[in-house]
Structures are given as structure tokens and as C-alpha cells.
Amino acid sequence: MALHPLCRLIFVATLALAACACSAELAPVPYPAARIHEATASGRGYLFRLESPGAPTKRMRMRFDAVDDSGAALVRTEWAEADPEPAPTAATRVTWQELEAHAHYPRDRTTITSESVQTPAGIFPCKLYTVNAGDGTTTRAWFAVDLPGAPVRMEISKGNKLVLRMLLLQHLPG
């Protein structure tokens, strides 16, 4: 199954930031792998809205199954917001270290501040990571202090133009 362009953008931005981070000292992570593991039971899930100017709004559901000490099976499903939710796709095995690595940002390009953010799922006290990739791309990721895992809000912009916004609609603790 091919990645939707919005998810491909998230993936490419994550890889670009990780490439920056490989040659630099890392900023502190919002949550170490062990904390993500502790917060994740089988059935834990997220529902996000993906918005990109000029493209149809999408929804993305992520659910963790078969959780153990090394990782979990991640089931991710995407669909157009106007459509009914399709059946889940096949699971991909992920480790806790791989999930932590999504937030490996280069220290010299990352600013971390405290800020509350409101999403359709509620108001969350967060650590806001603002990361300049060095090519005009800026990623802003709001990690909820008490919800270890994916950011509750993320925005990627190129120059002054918003390219992608991801908002948490629902979290299921599992």
C-alpha cells in the first residue's frame, strides 16, 4: 500500500530531521523509549486529522497491538475525512527505540518551550519542539506532558507556508 502524500511528507520530514540529528548532538527527547512503553498497552490508539492546504482533509488512526517489552504491532489506517473509515491495514512491528527516534532532533536546531495547546481531543500542557531543518522547513511538535507517544499537534511549514497540520482528535489508552 502506497503512503498518502501527507504521511509521506511526515515521513520525509522525520528522515530529514533525523539525518540532521545523526551528525549533531541531540536535543532531549520528550519521552524516552521506556516511558512510551510504560504508557502503551494493547489497544492504545490515536485518531488524527491531517490538513494540508489544497488537499482533501484526511484522518489517520494508529493502534498498538501485541505489546511486549521489545515493542508493538502498529496498525495505521488513513482515509479521506468525508469517507467512512476503512478496515485496518496490516500491522508493522515497531520497537520502543524506533518510536523514541521519531523525536530525535538536533540540539542546535531545536528550541523547546512549555505551552498548552488545544486540539479537538482537549487541552494539553505540552513541550513544544520547534525544529529548523536548515532548508527552510520548520517542524513544530507539541508533545503532551502526560501523554507519552505521538505529538498531539504537529505543523510543518516551508518558509512561511503551512504544508501540513496534524491534530489529535481522540486518544484511547488501551
Prediction pTM value: 0.86
Q: Pick the range with the lowest mean pLDDT from 3-17, 79-93, 149-163.
A: 3-17
Per-residue pLDDT tens digits for 72-111:
999 999 999 999 999 888 899 999 999 999 999 999 999 9
Identify the pLDDT of residue 18: 47
| % the chain with pLDDT above 70 | 87
Do residues 58 and 4 touch, judged by C-beta distance below 8 A?
yes
Say which residues have a Cβ less than 8 Å from residue 114's Cβ, sequence separation at least 6: 125, 126, 127, 128
The number of helices, as runs of H, and strands, as runs of E, in the chain is: 3, 9
> Rounded mean pLDDT of 133-152?
96
d(CA 160, CA 154) in angstroms, rounded, equals 15
Does 11 have pLDDT greater than 50?
Answer: no
Class of domain 5-166: mainly beta
129 to each of 58, 112, 151, 153, how far by Cα in Å?
A: 24, 5, 10, 11
Identify the pLDDT of residue 174: 83
Say which residues have a Cβ less than 8 Å from residue 121's Cβ, sequence separation at least 6: 152, 168, 169, 170, 171
Per-residue pLDDT tens digits for 46-56:
999 999 999 99
> Rounded mean pLDDT of 111-139?
97
Identify the pLDDT of residue 24: 74
Identify the pLDDT of residue 138: 97
The three-state secondary structure class of 166 is strand
d(CA 132, CA 158) in angstroms, rounded, equals 10
Read off the C-alpha cell for 94. Answer: 515497531
What's the chain's average pLDDT? Answer: 90
Which residue would you say has higher pLDDT here, 8 or 37? 37
**How many Å is the maximal CA-CA distance in the chain?**
44
The rounded Cα 113 to chain-centroid distance in angstroms is 18
Do residues 90 and 77 touch, judged by C-beta distance below 8 A?
no
